[in-house]
A and B are shown apart, each in its own frame.
Chain A
């Protein structure tokens, strides 16, 4: 079964700190790795995505690091703000179809 494993389940960070969320996958056919942010009562919103031909992608305060050999990727949120408090999901999909396989989610709390 295709799986994406995400950790930690919950994370508490002080304002201005760095939030780091990790994901690992099994299926080597995956070639698209997005991160989504979800607020209560809302649908997931795409934050940033990476393909395996690069090892890092940065957009503003959000950075994805990708390690193809280890089949791992991570999200770094720099200068974390209370408004970043949400649930974050990593996901993956492959060329055989566009269905996304999601991780279990990380509930991030950024304290003022």
Chain B
């Protein structure tokens, strides 16, 4: 596709439910990033993949957060046993290579935990 695609655009879940957020990066982009953006704040790094390898997961806030990219293209961010503090916009970005190339963002998934 022409850009990074994320689905669903909006997700409402009850506290304690599991959710899965999907990211389709730009075709051919090797690097994929997940960020979390709280209301009125800048995005904060969660995790980074180079192809299928998860090279950095230091930003994941707890072990309830899990990300995968099994075939080096589509990625899924999973949050288990959701809490109210997980409510945020989850942004996915991709770039052509690893070293400081422009990151192109999707429009995000707005997650609301009731």
Contact = CB atoms under 8 A, between A and B. Distances in A.
Interface of A: 6, 31-32, 34, 36, 41-46, 49, 51, 89, 91, 93, 95, 97-105
A45 B101 CA distance: 14
28 contacts: A43-B4, A43-B93, A43-B106, A44-B43, A44-B105, A45-B105, A46-B104, A51-B100, A89-B42, A95-B99, A97-B56, A98-B33, A98-B95, A98-B99, A98-B100, A98-B103, A99-B48, A99-B56, A99-B59, A100-B33, A100-B93, A100-B103, A101-B45, A103-B42, A104-B41, A104-B42, A105-B41, A105-B42
Given A41-B107, A42-B107, A97-B56, A102 B42 contact: yes
A43 B5 CA distance: 11
A77 B58 CA distance: 35
B108 interface: yes
Interface residues of B, number: 28
Interface string B36-66: 0000111111001000000110010000000
A43 B40 CA distance: 13
A97 B103 CA distance: 13
A104 B100 CA distance: 21
- Interface residues of A: mostly helix, strand, loop or mixed? strand
B8 to A, nearest CB: 14
B75 interface: no
A22 to B, nearest CB: 15
A98 B106 CA distance: 17
Nearest to B107: A43
Contact of A100 (B40, B41, B43, B55): B43
Contact of A49 (B42, B56, B102, B108): B102
